[in-house]
Amino acid sequence: MTQLNASEIVVLTSIQQSGGISRKALAEKTGLSQASITKITHRLGRDDYIREGERVGTGMGRKEVLLYPNPGKFKFLGVDIGGHRLRIALADYRYELIRVEQYLMEELERKDDVLRELADKLRSFLEACGETSVDAIGVGVTGIVDIGRQTILNIPNLDRWNDVNIVGALSDRFGCPVYLEESGRTMAFAEKLAGKAKDESDFIVVHVAYGVVAGIYTSGRPLRGAGNVGGLLGHITADEKGTRCRCGNYGCLENIVTYPMLEGEYRRRGGGAASLAEAYGINDKIALDVLIEAGKAIGIALSNVVNLFNPQTIYLGGPVFDRFPIVFEEVRRTVLLRANRFATVAMALDRTTFGDRQGLLGALTLAGTSFVASLET
Ligand SMILES: [Zn+2]
C-alpha cells in the first residue's frame, strides 16, 4: 500500500469529508498554502485517491474544480454488534453502502465459538458481494471495550461475549487491519465524519433501540474516560427502585426506555392492542402514557448530560424515536424544562443522520478514518 505524508492525509481526509471541495477551499480549511495544495492534490490524483468533478462558479473569480474521493479506491467492511442484532455492510470510500445484511445475535449465541461463527458470516457476506478481501474492517459493539487490548470485555445483553479478542481473530482470518470501538462512540464518529455534526466540536448522539447507547464529543474529541467507559448513558440509574439490569445495577435507563421494555410496560398496564405501535397509532391512552414517561426519563438523563457537557446539538436516533415521534417531543420538552437555560439557549435537538443505520455507518467511518490515518509514513 502506498504511504502518504501527514499533509497528504489531512488533505485527503478533508476531501473525503467535504462531499466535493475546491482547491481554494481546501487551502482555507487546512491552513496549507495554495502551492502545497496544488502539489498534494496532484499527487493524490496521480495515485487515484481523488477525482476531479464539476467546475463551479465562485462569484467574480474563475470557476473552481471540485475534488472528490475516488469511491473505488478502498472498500471497508462495517460490523455493528448490538445486543439484539448483528448488522454487516460493505461500503466504498464515500461510505456508500454496497450491500447490507442483518442477523439476530441469538443465532450466534447458540454456537460454541461465537467468533468463528461471526467470521464465517463475514466471509460468506463478502462472497455474496463478489469480494475476496477488503482494506479494513470496523467493528462497533454495544458493550464495554478494552481499547488498549482491542478486546470486547462485556456486552450486557449477551452471555458469550466476555473477554473476546475479536480484533486478533478477524485480522488473522481476513488479513487486513481491524478496528474496534464501543458503538455509541462509533455512532458519534458517523455524525461527525459523514453526518450533520461535521462543523461541531461539542455534541451528543443518543440511539435507543434494544439498548441505549450514547457518544459524546467534547472540545472536538470523543469522550472516553480513564477506562474507555465514558458516555455509558444506558446504564445510569433512572429509577432507584427499578428492576435489576443485565449490567448488575438496578433501575438503569436502559431498563425503562428500550423497545422491549416499552412493549412490556404497555402489557403490564393492561394494554390490549396487538403491539405498542398499533396502540400508539390509535392514540391509546396507556400507550401514550408509557411513551411520554419514557421520553421524560430520557429527557431527565440528558438534562444532566447537558449541564455537564454543554453540547451544541443533541442527535437522537433509533427505532424508538422513528416509530414514536412523541418520545422525541417529550425529550425536547423535558430537556428545555430541566437543563440550565444558559446551556439550552443556543442548543439544538435533531434526529441522527443515518437513523437505524447509524451504528453501521459508525463502524464504517471508524474503519475508513483509522485505515487512512494508518497510511502515514
Ligand atoms: Zn444497566
pLDDT in tens, 185-208: 999 999 999 999 999 999 999 999
pLDDT in tens, 324-339: 999 999 999 999 999 9
| Domain total in the chain | 3
Residue 58 is predicted with a pLDDT of 66
Q: How confident is the model at residue 157 (pLDDT cuts 50, 70, 90)?
A: confident
In angstroms, what is the span from residue 239 Cα to ligand 1's centroid? 11
Asked if 261 and 284 sit in the same domain, the reply is yes
Q: How far apart are CA 209 and CA 4, in angstroms?
A: 40
Residue 1 has pLDDT above 80, yes or no: no
Is 1 a member of any domain? no
Query: Ligand 1 is a single-atom ion; what residues have CB below 5 A from it?
Result: 235, 245, 247, 249, 252
DSSP code, position 96: -
Q: What angle do CA 213, 216, 217 make, to 5 degrees?
A: 150
Q: How far apart are CA 153 and CA 144, in angstroms?
A: 5
Q: How far apart are CA 201 and CA 258, in angstroms?
A: 28
Asked if 126 and 202 sit in the same domain, the reply is no
CB-based contacts of 283: which residues, under 8 Å, 6+ apart?
none
**CATH for 28:** 1.10.10.10
DSSP code, position 162: S
pLDDT more than 90, % of the chain: 87
Asked if 207 and 302 sit in the same domain, the reply is yes
Residue 15 has pLDDT above 90, yes or no: yes
DSSP code, position 326: H
Q: How far apart are CA 252 and CA 256, in angstroms?
A: 7
Asked if 158 and 175 sit in the same domain, the reply is yes
In angstroms, what is the span from residue 263 Cα to ligand 1's centroid? 18
Strand, coil or helix: what is 71? helix
Asked if 276 and 162 sit in the same domain, the reply is no
In angstroms, what is the span from residue 250 Cα to ligand 1's centroid? 7
In angstroms, what is the span from residue 255 Cα to ligand 1's centroid? 7
Strand, coil or helix: what is 198? coil
Question: Do β-strands 313-317 and 85-92 pair in parallel, antiparallel, or remain unpaired?
Answer: unpaired
pLDDT in tens, 46-88: 999 999 998 887 666 778 899 999 999 999 999 999 989 999 9
Q: What is the mean pLDDT of the chain?
A: 94
Q: Which domain holds residue 177?
A: 74-186+358-374
Encoded amino acid at 83, one letter:
G
In angstroms, what is the span from residue 262 Cα to ligand 1's centroid? 16
pLDDT more than 70, % of the chain: 99
Residue 19 is predicted with a pLDDT of 83
Strand, coil or helix: what is 103? strand
Residue 56 is predicted with a pLDDT of 84
